[in-house]
Copies of this chain bind each other. A is one copy, B any other.
Amino acid sequence: MPLTPEQQAEIDALRATPRQTLRVVSDGMERHLYTAYDVLDHGFVRVIDYMGDDNAICQAARVSYGKGTKQVSQNEGLIRYLMRHWHSTPFEMCEIKLHVKLPVFVARQWIRHRTANVNEYSARYSILDREFYIPQPDALAAQSTANAQGRGAVLTGAEAERVLEILKSDSARAYDHYEEMLESEEQGQKLGLARELARMNLPANVYTQWYWKVDLHNLFHFLRLRADAHAQYEIRVYAEEICKLVADWVPFAYAAFEDYRMGGVTLSAKAIECIKRMLQGEGVTQETSGMSKGEWREFEGVIG
């Protein structure tokens, strides 16, 4: 359970006090504000704030004075047009602020998306909680033999048990020692190592948390890479949870994103040429395609 009763009470208090605003309001997003959605065994994603909605994307694209068109269908068409033609700036006019709790090795992938604002819980300043990611049995995958950075079959039986035993016992011992090193002399204890040093003993499955703020264009970029089937499972589940929130926040933009980005495919000049030949009835093979074996395999995956 990621939240303590005190934390849940703080969230409930925030959700109990609606106020008046003149700003654009997304009813779909108001429903989610502050609520922590569980991800992995101790993690969560929750929306702290947002700016804009579908309409705001169009308003910015038109640099308009007021709300702009009243016809909802025009906004949908414009949003699809903007997405299709890579007009990114109108999508940057929406912003979201999330509070995320996540294992450190996931945080290390996540932070590589640079165009975002981050405030992370500081382990120099504060003491981390005893919370470690221990995979569910069906996430205990073997190394893929085909893909150097992928997963293969799920481990089972004694093998799986041994992995879980290692992860659990090493996490527990690391945290026991973290606490031991932090114990201060003032409390009649032996040690009182600086927090900024003691933390180095904690493994990468320890949980951290941060506030993460990003505009919608850059969020879509993050989601395309991290909600993708090739992303590591442990970050993908966060991306998928965020996808659900965004679908309620900006439904037109999200639908366009699904069609043109998540479900879309970029084909090379060679691949387009092959499709043209195939549509004219020619039987194209890897040998006659001009593509390498790897490219051809990926191409077959797209049109197959």
Instruction: Return A231 CB to nearest CB of chain B, in Å.
Output: 10
Q: 14 other contacts beyond A51-B95, A104-B108, A203-B203, with CB at 8 A cut-off? A: A20-B20, A21-B23, A60-B119, A63-B99, A63-B210, A89-B118, A92-B213, A111-B111, A144-B194, A162-B191, A163-B191, A196-B232, A260-B268, A264-B269
Q: Which one of B97, B120, B264 lies within 8 Å of A51 (CB-CB)?
A: B97
B22 and A15 contact, CB distance less than 8 A: yes
A294 to B17, CA, bound (A): 36
A266 and B263 contact, CB distance less than 8 A: no
A149 and B125 contact, CB distance less than 8 A: yes
Q: Is A237 an interface residue (CB 8 A)?
A: no
**Interface size classification for chain A:** 35 or more
The proximity string for A residues 187-206 relative to B, scoring 1 for CB distances below 8 Å and 0 otherwise, is: 00011111111011111110
Main secondary structure of the interface of A (DSSP, over half): mixed
A263 and B259 contact, CB distance less than 8 A: no
A112 to B120, CA, bound (A): 10
Instruction: Return A196 CB to nearest CB of chain B, in Å.
Output: 5
B20 and A18 contact, CB distance less than 8 A: yes
Q: Which one of B92, B201, B259 lies within 8 Å of A203 (CB-CB)?
A: B201
A298 to B84, CA, bound (A): 10
Contacts of A9 in B (CB 8 A): 66
